[in-house]
Homo-oligomer: A and B are copies of this chain.
Amino acid sequence: MAAALELFEERGYDATTAAAIADRAGVTEMTFFRHFPSKDAVLIADPYDPLIAEAIRRQPASLPALAAAIGGVAAAWTSAPPPLSGEVRERLRIVSGTPSLRGALARNSAQTEAAIAQALVDRGTTPADARIAASATLGALNAALLDWADGDEPDLGSAIDSALRVLAGGAG
């Protein structure tokens, strides 16, 4: 992974071949793909957090779907903010600056999205509305994440707050 990050910063993501990464790491291309299922997996890992789904399920039943998703994410974040190394930001910065990786980010959120949608359905939301709310929530979070990666603000929490605030309808 260190070799990959070096090369991505030297030449850019698209101009870096998997063979080159393996080479710099002193291993074979095969070995690279045994450690990472795809080239983009070096940058994008989906740490699906069951806490989010749990927190959503615990939201008051009276809340509408989007509000429950928002509340759940907020609760999960404040209760257990994941430790983030500077490396996380470095990785996301590359994602942010590489258009061809946009799709990979979304594809990678699929599992989390499904978990959020399921949690909403468990709360009584219709499947269709649940998918919409989950997709919107992850869209907002991913956008905020990339924006945070591009800036200098050290606190990821405030980026997440932004996403939730906008989602909740509170941004001019």
Contacts and interface: CB of A to CB of B under 8 A. Distances in A.
A118 interface: no
A128 to B, nearest CB: 5
A103 B168 CA distance: 26
Contact of A172 (B64, B110, B136): B64
A156 interface: no
A69 to B, nearest CB: 10
Contacts of A124: 172
Interface residues of A, number: 43
Main DSSP-derived SS at the A contact region: helix
A64 B170 CA distance: 6
A52 to B, nearest CB: 16
Contact of A65 (B132, B142, B146, B172): B172
Contacts of A105: 103, 106
Q: How many copies does the complex hold?
A: 2
Interface string A62-86: 0011110000000000000000000
Contact of A104 (B65, B103, B125): B103
Contacts of A147: 128, 131-132
Contact of A169 (B67, B102, B108, B137): B67
A47 interface: no
B140 A135 contact: yes
Given A64-B166, A66-B167, 12 more contacts: A66-B166, A102-B110, A103-B103, A103-B105, A131-B147, A132-B140, A132-B147, A133-B140, A133-B166, A135-B139, A137-B139, A139-B139
